[in-house]
Amino acid sequence: MNKIMLVLEREFLTRVRKKSFIIMTILTPILFAALMIVPAVIATLEDKNERHIAVIDDAGIFEGKIPETEYLKFTFLHDVEVDDIKETFHESNYYAVLFIGKMVASTPDAVVLYSDKQPSIDITSHISSALKNEIESQKLMSYDIENLDEILNNIKTSIRVRTIKWTKDGEAKESSTELAMGLAYILSFMVYMLIFLFGNQVMRGVIEEKSSRIVEVIVSSVKPFQLMMGKILGIAAVSLVQIVLWIILTFGLVTVGTSLLMDKSDTADTNKQMVTSIMETQGGAQVIPDTAGANDDFVSEMMGALSNVNFALIIGGFIFFFIGGYLLYAAMFAAVGSAVENEADTQQLMLPITIPLILAIVVMVSGLRSPDGAISFWFSMIPFTSPIVMITRLPYGVPTWELILSGSLLVVTFIFMTWLAAKVYRTGILLYGKKHSWGEIWKWIRYSN
């Protein structure tokens, strides 16, 4: 055990003193904070360039029916053809020319927007929505229904489904499916990336020591199993320290950045827009009412849901399943590294390791939609996929017995896989000059000594 600790200490100190470790530890939180703050800030900024669009309405029914905004104006032209304005378009102040054909009600392609620039999706959506509403109104009016406008206003309905979570004590807490989905996606993908990142570091370290023949000196005083375990645990300690620093620094940068970039007077509006933009990304825009009061309720509910998230459980589960998944896969990465002499030779041996991780990402997508489904449940129990799939389920709420069972299976499988990897490591680490197949590696595992 003392020798394992010595190897662990060597690996840890060697790596934390590297410039790459320091640079990545500083830059990664800055990147994470930027990914959180910048899109939200950009989403709150309005395009204040006023754009004038000329409208040629051959149908003759849309004049005054396309609502203008503060920065989007429409001018209806009469007795003008598109070809006429095309010749003088560059000298005019128009942003675009909107042509509405006579057959617009039966031929949707009869609407064309001409411009020397690529119009944004906001502009095209605004126009298509206005024309669609007017055509539908015209069609309804043809049925000669009395008080049609009043009826249409009365039947307009906006539905937003709130979610309330009942605890075992019967307490009701505000929750959010979209918030849970966002957390599940981000954390699961982080586990996937970090397992690959730090697992590859283990493999490269083994390859470097083997190719430089340093390992021949080391194993004269340390058993191969002790060397492998010390290397795996040393890099695990480095990764844990780095993740904790990332979390602390990212949280600090987001807090400071938010307070510096946003005016205090606009805090309420900004928070509302930030939450709304996040929800639109997750598909929640379809159920958000347009009224100011409803938006206030929505933001209040989102903040309430955020305050009710069990971050201690989620962060603790993230660290446990990441460390467990890392240790499991790092043992396999170390075994592969010991069986080759350079990184190019690892391709033929990496497939059995990467397939479970890729499969876990595929199941993660299913887990986002059905976290309690049979597929999500079983793959959250299988140790080779549970570090990713269980993290996907965690923000939605997972029974305690499932967490204990999944964690126990992960620990037992790690111990067993480490035993197998050690048998491969002790043989392969001192073999040179040949590419080894899985058949030969299986023989190494079966060696009694």
Q: Is residue 425 part of a domain?
A: yes
Regarding whether 435 and 360 lie in a shared domain, the answer is yes
Please, which pLDDT band fits residue 406 given cuts at 50, 70 and 90?
very high
Q: Mind listing the pLDDT tens digit for each residue in 135-169?
A: 888 788 777 777 777 777 787 776 666 666 666 66
Residues 85 and 192 reside in one and the same domain: no
Same domain, 223 and 112: no
97 and 32 within one domain? no
* 3-state class (DSSP) for residue 56: strand
Q: Give 243-298 pLDDT, tens digit per residue.
A: 888 888 888 887 887 777 655 445 445 444 544 444 444 444 333 344 445 455 55
Structural domain boundaries, residue 76? 51-119
CB atoms within 10 A of CB 154: 9
pLDDT at 301 over 80: no
**What's the Cα-to-Cα distance from 306 to each of 254, 258, 324, rounded to whole Å?**
16, 17, 27
Examine the domain organization and report whether 279 and 181 are in the same domain.
yes
* Claim: this prediction has a pTM higher than 0.75: no
- Which has more pLDDT, 336 or 378? 378
Print the SS3 string covering 158-197: CCCCCEEEECCCCCEEEECHHHHHHHHHHHHHHHHHHHHH
Flag whether 213 is in a domain.
yes
Q: What is the pLDDT, as a whole number, of residue 412? A: 93
Do residues 68 and 37 both lie within one domain? no
Q: Are 41 and 261 in contact (CB under 8 A)?
A: yes
**Closest by CA position to 242, among listed 390, 20, 38, 411:** 20
In this predicted structure, what is the pLDDT of residue 250?
82
**Which residue, 381, 336, 345, is CA-closest to 363?**
381
Residues in Cβ contact with 68 at an 8 Å cutoff, skipping those fewer than 6 apart = 74
143 assigned to some structural domain: no
356 and 265 together in one domain: yes
CB-based contact 66:74 (threshold 8 Å): yes
Structure tokens at 75: 């001018």
Residue 58, domain CATH: 3.40.190.10
Of 266, 272, 269, the C-alpha closest to 298 is 272
Residue 209 exposure: Cα atoms within 13 Å on the Cβ side: 23
Q: Which residue has the higher pLDDT, 431 or 167?
A: 431
Q: What is the predicted pLDDT for the residue at 410?
A: 93
Per-residue DSSP letters for 284-324? GGGG--SSHHHHHHHHHHHHHHHHTS-HHHHHHHHHHHHHH
The backbone region for 300, taken as left when phi is positive above 0, alpha when psi lies in -120 to 50, beta otherwise, is: alpha
Q: Is residue 92 over pLDDT 50?
A: yes
How many distinct structural domains can be found in the chain?
2
In this structure, are residues 77 and 56 in contact, taking their beta carbons and an 8 Å threshold? Answer: yes
**Residues 418, 328: Cα–Cα separation, whole Å:** 7
Identify whether residues 255 and 395 lie together within a single domain.
yes
pLDDT (0 to 100) of residue 281: 42
Kindly state the tokens that stand for 191.
Answer: 């586990």
Give pLDDT, residue 289. 41
Please tell me whether residues 404 and 264 are part of one structural domain: yes
Q: Which tens digits make up the pLDDT trace of 34-91?
A: 877 776 666 566 556 788 888 888 878 888 888 888 788 888 888 888 887 887 787 7
Residues 339 and 298 in one domain: yes
23 plus 90 within the same structural domain: no
AA letter at 204: R
Token pair of 305, please? 């849901």
Please write the tens of the pLDDT for every residue from 355-395.
Answer: 999 999 988 888 888 888 889 899 999 999 999 999 988 88
pLDDT digits (tens, 9 = 90+) for 230-247: 888 888 888 888 888 888
In contact, 298 and 289? CB cutoff 8 Å: yes
The verdict on residue 398 lying in a domain is: yes
Last residue of a domain, one of 100, 119, 138: 119
Residues 98 and 209 in one domain: no
Residue at token pair 């100190």: 13
Has residue 133 been placed in a domain?
Answer: no
DSSP assigned state of 394? G
Residue 214 identity: I
